[in-house]
Amino acid sequence: MRRRRARRARSGRTWRSLWRTRRSARRARRPLWRRVARFGLLVLVASTAATALPILALRFIPPPTTAFMLRSRVSDPASGQPCERVAYRWVPREAISRDLVLAVLVAEDQRFFEHRGFDFDGIRRALRDRERSGRVRGASTLTQQLVKNLFLWPESSWLRKGIEAWLTFSIEQLWPKQRILETYLNVVQFGPCVYGAGAASLRYFDRTPDQLEPRQAALLAAVLPNPHKLRAHSPGPHAQERTEQILELMETHRWLLRRL
């Protein structure tokens, strides 16, 4: 009995060793490109999951903070000084003036409801303007600006643009347009240490964002491209001129409100 058991044990070890040897041989014979492709696929799946989970969560919950807000605590982009306190107050989309929504759309992204995160027509126009006049004009969509504010940094680089493109694509796939617009209005910087329509309305006009008048809404939208130079509480000639332009655009683009 003992000899029979010993033979069975040796036989089991032999078969296991043979199976492991054959498996190693098959792996060794597997083409290098297939191994690289398999590894690349695993990396792609892991990175997609790591990106999708936080973005999917933010579709339903307000972001507690953003990359730009954290940066402001060290050095605020609008003032160059650290913020002792960042003014940020989330308000739902229903509590934001439709005039402010319209003002931001006509000022920053008139084709917001037509594109999927990238305005290729705007990019082509910006390139033509650069070739003709040498003037550099931005062509970022609201979604791209939201991604930068939420997750990235203001300095431009190819690395940031690559990450921004991937996150923009992800948000456009996972969020409805109304959520993108709501989140943008709540986290974008309107002035030194002031983020979002809720905080800006109280700081500059002493009222809630649903009580904003059209001119006040246009003025807030006017400072968005450059809050470290344009001031809603003391607008200069350029901010005032831009406010008038936005008011005119609001009158001619009232049809956008039907998309909200």
Residue with tokens 């690349």: 40
- For the chain, the domains span 65-259
Q: Evaluate whether 152 touches 163 at the Cβ level (below 8 Å).
A: yes
**pLDDT one-digit tens code per residue, 115-152:** 988 888 777 776 666 566 655 556 789 999 999 999 99
User: CA nearest 130: which of 208, 248, 122?
Assistant: 122
- Percent of the chain exceeding pLDDT 90 equals 53
User: 227 with 78: CB under 8 angstroms?
Assistant: yes
Say whether pLDDT at 1 is over 60.
Answer: no
Contacts for 233 with CB less than 8 Å, ≥ 6 apart: 191, 203, 204
Q: Are 175 and 54 in contact (CB under 8 A)?
A: no
Question: Tens digits of per-residue pLDDT, 198-229?
Answer: 999 999 999 999 999 999 999 999 998 788 78
65-259: CATH topology = Penicillin binding protein transpeptidase fold (1.10.3810)
Query: Measured between alpha carbons, how far is 179 from 186 in angstroms, rounded to an integer?
Result: 11
What is the 8-class DSSP label of residue 254? G
pLDDT tens column, 39-48: 666 666 666 6
What whole-number percentage of the chain has pLDDT above 70? 76
pLDDT band at 99 (very low <50, low <70, confident <90, very high): very high
Torsion of CA 177, 180, 186, 192, to 10 degrees: -120
Tell me, what DSSP letter sits at residue 101? H
Residue 180: exposure state from Cβ atoms within 10 A (0-12, 13-18, ≥19): buried
Residue 107: φ, ψ to 5°: -85, -35
Decide: 103 and 220 in contact? Cβ < 8 Å.
yes
Poorest-pLDDT segment among 26-40, 103-117, 220-234: 26-40
Average pLDDT over all residues of the chain? 83
Q: What is the per-residue pLDDT for 253?
A: 92
Q: Which whole number is the average pLDDT over 149-170?
A: 90
Mean pLDDT of 69-92: 90
pLDDT at res. 9: 45
Q: Which residue has the higher pLDDT, 76 or 23?
A: 76
DSSP for 105-163? HHHH-TTTTTSSS--HHHHHHHHHHHHHH--------HHHHHHHHHHS-SS--HHHHHH
CA distances (Å), 152 to each of 58, 118, 243, in order? Answer: 16, 17, 29
- Each residue of 4-14: pLDDT tens digit? 554 544 554 56
